[in-house]
Amino acid sequence: MQVDASISITSNNGLLSLEGLQNLVTLQGSLNIANNNKLINLNGLRGMTRILGNLSVGSNGSLTALEGLHNLSRVRGSLTISSNGKIADLNGLRRLREINWWSKISNNQSLKSLKGLERLKIAEDELEITGNPALTSISELAQLKTASQITITNNPLLSDCAIKIVCERIAYGSATISGNAAGCANTEEVRLTATCSPQTLVRINAGGPDFTTATQKLFVADQYYAGIDRTSSIASGDILNTTNDVLYRSARSASSFSYNIPVVNELVNVTLHFAETYFGVPGTKGEKGGPGSRRFHVNIEGSRKLTNYDIFTEAGGALRANQLTIPVTVTDGILNIDFLTGAADIPRVSAIEVTASPTLIPVEDGMVASGSNTNYVDSDNLYVREGPYRDYPTLPWHSYFKFQLPAGKAEITSAKLRVYGHNNDVYGDNTDNNPNTEIHVYGVNDDSWTEKAITGANAPAASLPSLGSVGVNDVLKYYEIDVTNYVNAQRQSGDQIISLMLGNPANQSTAVTFSSKEGGFYPPQLIYQTTKIFQPTNMTARIGQEEVFPEAQKRQQSTVYPNPIQDQFTVSVSPEHTGPISFEMINTAGKSHFIPAPQNAKPGENTELNIAGQSFHTGIYLLKVKSDAFTEAIKVLVAE
């Protein structure tokens, strides 16, 4: 039976059951069951499989379970389970697979787990789990693939909420976590868990099987690759500069290939492992080869990182291992590495490691207005402003950060202060405004200040001249300043705590605003490295006029419409592309499918693409648009 309307069962003080509705299969409207104080069960709804509107079950004081909804597979509207005092789990929803609007599970006093939601894979809008005092686990949502926003608040016994979908939403800045037990107490605590930010994201033995190094590092069998599928290997041979010879004897080697590796959105270290096993090797056809025999390019995240890279020259000869570590910021959930033919022969890579950059969050941060006794401990923002504005005698504003340095004696090869914010005056009428304001960082040797007590009257002064600066414009993003020398100097003096201050020595009235650690998604950070980092600028000197791009340059992006997409859609191709253009769809597991264009795609023009019959499941994909000059990834949603 189908009902083409909504059903509301509310405020029936004598209602014990819903028997009589057992033949109801599909409800075109919404179902609301609320404030029925004696309702014991929902067994009368056991025939229902779909609700095309909203489902709400709330404030039913005697209801102990949701049994009766156990055949429900889809709710096309919202789902609300709220203020049902005796429900211990959600097992009555055990066949629910899809919710097409927002979901809210709140204020259920006896709810201990989300058992019953193990099959839920799609929750298209916001998922809110709040105010459930007995809840200890959300692990039942491990299979959930989509949710645009996640809120997990005020569940005092919930200590572990680091599941895949939560990690993904944190990475995209669309998660709010607070008021839960330690381990799930706030967004940043969850982001730094081993689940959400593992130090090693992936190790891949390019062209080879699983391999465990002498130090027990597992390089998994070759995966996440696309393009020309060609590998090469040698059966034996001593590889110098390593004890892991097997890792370097095999490689992926072709005229053009890529790796599309799913990672969390963050600054990561990409380590590429190389060894020349053909050119210059005695007893092979390539014996007479040497410097210049193999020269190829590597793009990472669409930016040129290596130009005409020569393995033989960089390693100092054939059969010698060489590694390069390159920091890269990933913003779309997929790390794209493209190997391209250069001046000679074809690219070759033996292994790829992707590791998270060690990140420190301030143990204290704060801002002060010079001379003022006001403390701003709860502020979500930190300001830097020096001069007065108009008739307002604005006192200079400075921002302070205190970091606990890592233990151990490993040399810190790089340390950068990262602050997220922008020039807040760029659109105003402040005549003193500079659209690219230079913000300087200063070392502060006095670490005794605390964020709860610091004011403009007691804040410690800078101990050293400027350590460095960065131009801050109107773009909201992380800005970085190198503080490596100061960090190492503090460590060498035995000080494991460092304090830093931001200021504007140009005495401008421009207001520059940054997020504090209380601000949520984008706290201040100290990113440090203990490994040798490859600097692309060094290669520029070796290759003359050939250009190496150390950072991705701002380029005009292609666009997709409509988005969400179905069988057919249009790509407005960026004019930045040159030469042949290819299109590739990549899912969240890193698997790729090339999409044929019906005609030769041209830069600056529209191209129609069709994915009908290619078995793309509903969900989020990356459309990779690639040419000789430019590689970009556009997030698209495949709809039904």
CA dist., res. 161 & res. 555, Å (int)? 37
Alpha helices of 142-270 — where are they, by DSSP H?
A: 164-171, 187-191, 245-249
The pLDDT value recorded for residue 550 is: 31
User: How many other CB atoms are found less than 10 A from the CB of residue 199?
Assistant: 10
pLDDT for res 547? 29
Q: Which residues contact 194 (CB under 8 A, 6 or more apart)?
A: none
Give the pLDDT of residue 391.
53
- For the four alpha carbons of 522, 528, 489 and 437, in that order, the dihedral sign comes to negative
Fold of 2-191: 3.80.10
Q: 2-191 and 559-638: same fold?
A: no
339-375 confidence digits (pLDDT tens): 999 999 999 999 999 987 777 888 899 999 988 899 9
Topology of the domain covering 200-356: Jelly Rolls (2.60.120)
The CATH number of domain 559-638 is 2.60.40.10? yes
Q: How is the chain split into domains, by residue range?
A: 2-191, 200-356, 360-528, 559-638
Neighbouring residues of 374: CB distance < 8 A, sequence distance ≥ 6: 455, 456
pTM > 0.85: no
* Residue 300, pLDDT score: 94
Confidence at residue 541, expressed as pLDDT on a 0 to 100 scale? 28
Distance CA 124, CA 76 (A): 10
Low-confidence stretches of the chain (pLDDT beneath 50): 427, 537-554
| Residue 494 CB-density burial (10 A; 0-12 exposed, 13-18 middle, 19+ buried) | exposed
What are the angstrom distances between the C-alpha of 308 and each of 70, 335, 456, 493?
A: 61, 21, 54, 43
What pLDDT was estimated at residue 546?
A: 28
Architecture of domain 360-528 in this structure: Sandwich (2.60)
Give the model's pLDDT for residue 549: 29
Q: Do the Cβ atoms of 113 and 140 come closer than 8 Å? A: yes
Tell which residue, 268, 247, 259, 300, has the closest CA to residue 200. Answer: 268
> Quick one: pLDDT at residue 590?
59
Contact 602, 574 (CB under 8 A): no
Instruction: Answer for the pair 265, 201: CB distance below 8 angstroms, yes or no.
Output: no
